[in-house]
Amino acid sequence: MTASTNRKPIKNPGSIFSNIHALIQQSKNILIVISRPVDPDTVGTAFALEWLLTLASKQVHVVSFTRIPSNMADFPCIRRVDAAGTDSFSFSPYNLIILIDGSSWDQFFGRNWKQTLKKFPASKIINLDHHDPGQIQMAVPERCLVAETSSTAQLLFDYFIRPFNLKLPPEIAHYLYLALLYDTRMFKNEMFPGMYLFAHDLLTLGADHLKAVDKSYDLKEIDFTVWAVEHTEFIPALQLTMLVIDAGLNIELQKKLGENWMDFDGLYKETIERQIKGYNYGIILIDNMDGTIRFGWRTRNFGNYISIAEVAHRAGFSAGGHRNAGGGSFDGTIEHAKTSFLQEIRRALNIET
């Protein structure tokens, strides 16, 4: 995934790191929360941070308040992540709550994030991330270390590990290498300063490249991709592919692939959404059947294309992530979501309706 070229650089990252470092030193019990979507970057970074904090004699707990998807089942030691619910979880034992690889509250605490935030003071929050800055940085900017890097894994390494000459165990280096490969799409995305040096350092420390790149697809990914192509609308005038999954199609997919069918959309996103000739933008709209619409996009990495996040914001969506990949939501019907988005992308491309 690629960061937006329009994002504003973080102010005084060294000062913010010093502030975060001091807060960590003063704390004994630390909670690490991974983000949604649960992917190798958030998990690998969380495990590396857990190792680092444990080395400093901290009590550390890694938790996910969202379901671990089936496509993460093969990530090493994934079962060490405590899958919990925010309603019954006690935040009181923790001096710090570190949010990994996300810019919005709902990525960490779900749809009821406002209620969850009432359970602890904002002064406990630290955010480590490489996405476009969002509502978390707006709320606690002095405790958000956000930088344009290949991955949150690289941010952790650049600020917390390399300057202190720490030697990672091979398994931790491998976790970070998995994170790097995932977020760069195996180096297909935009290059960031230090990205290849980061990879070299991890391989030197024992990351297993051949094991890391040995990727297999679940057959359900093939089934979903075939189904999705048949239901995708190709709009050449907008250079856009659009997959709209209304309540009826959502139920159809649950019967076909299971309740968690969205675990199997990765192949479709990687191929159809941004690698079809003549189509530079790929959109998915999914009716959650609760009054909200799930929204996701992919765009080509090369070329001067419009920002889908900016289009989505103007159309009434909440949206975040990178310029070339991200997601969000829409309150309302799927018909309204589709109409609003198409109206705004036409305006952005200067195409009359």
Q: How confident is the model at residue 11 (pLDDT cuts 50, 70, 90)?
A: low
Q: Which two tokens stand for residue 277?
A: 């000739």
Contacts of 317-320 spanning 24+ positions with Cβ under 8 A: 317/341, 318/104, 319/295, 320/103, 320/104, 320/107, 320/131, 320/132, 320/134
Can you tell me the distance from the alpha carbon of 343 to that of 244, in angstroms, rounded to the nearest whole number?
A: 16
Can you tell me the distance from the alpha carbon of 36 to that of 21, in angstroms, rounded to the nearest whole number?
A: 25
- Give the three-class secondary structure for 329: strand
Q: How confident is the model at residue 215 (pLDDT cuts 50, 70, 90)?
A: confident
Can you tell me the distance from the alpha carbon of 287 to that of 163, in angstroms, rounded to the nearest whole number?
A: 46
Tens digits of residue pLDDT in 71-114: 899 999 999 999 999 999 999 999 999 999 999 999 999 989 99
- Give the three-class secondary structure for 121: coil
- Give the three-class secondary structure for 196: helix
125 close to 97: Cβ distance less than 8 angstroms: yes
Q: Specify which residues 293 forms β-bridges with.
A: 287, 330
Tens digits of residue pLDDT in 169-191: 999 999 999 999 999 999 988 88
CATH homologous superfamily for the domain 13-212: inorganic pyrophosphatase (n-terminal core) (3.90.1640.10)
- Domain locations in the chain as residue ranges: 13-212, 219-348
50 close to 100: Cβ distance less than 8 angstroms: no
Tens digits of residue pLDDT in 241-296: 999 999 999 999 999 999 999 999 999 999 999 899 999 999 999 999 999 999 99
Q: Which two tokens stand for residue 268?
A: 């479709």
- Using the Cα atoms of residue 151, residue 152, residue 154 and residue 158 in order, give the sign of their dihedral: positive
Tens digits of residue pLDDT in 148-164: 999 999 999 999 999 99
Could you write out the DSSP letters of every residue in 216-258?
Answer: ---HHHHHHHHHHHHHEEEEGGGTEEEEEE-HHHHHHHHHHH-
Q: What is the pLDDT of residue 352?
A: 73
Q: What is the pLDDT of residue 189?
A: 85
Q: What are phi and psi of 113, to 5 degrees?
A: -60, -30
Q: Which two tokens stand for residue 166?
A: 């720490």
* Residues contacting 149, CB < 8 A, separation 6+: 130, 155, 158, 192, 194, 195
Q: What is the pLDDT of residue 134?
A: 86
219-348: CATH, from 3.10.310.30, 3.30.420.130, 3.30.420.40, 3.20.20.70: 3.10.310.30
Q: What is the pLDDT of residue 23?
A: 96
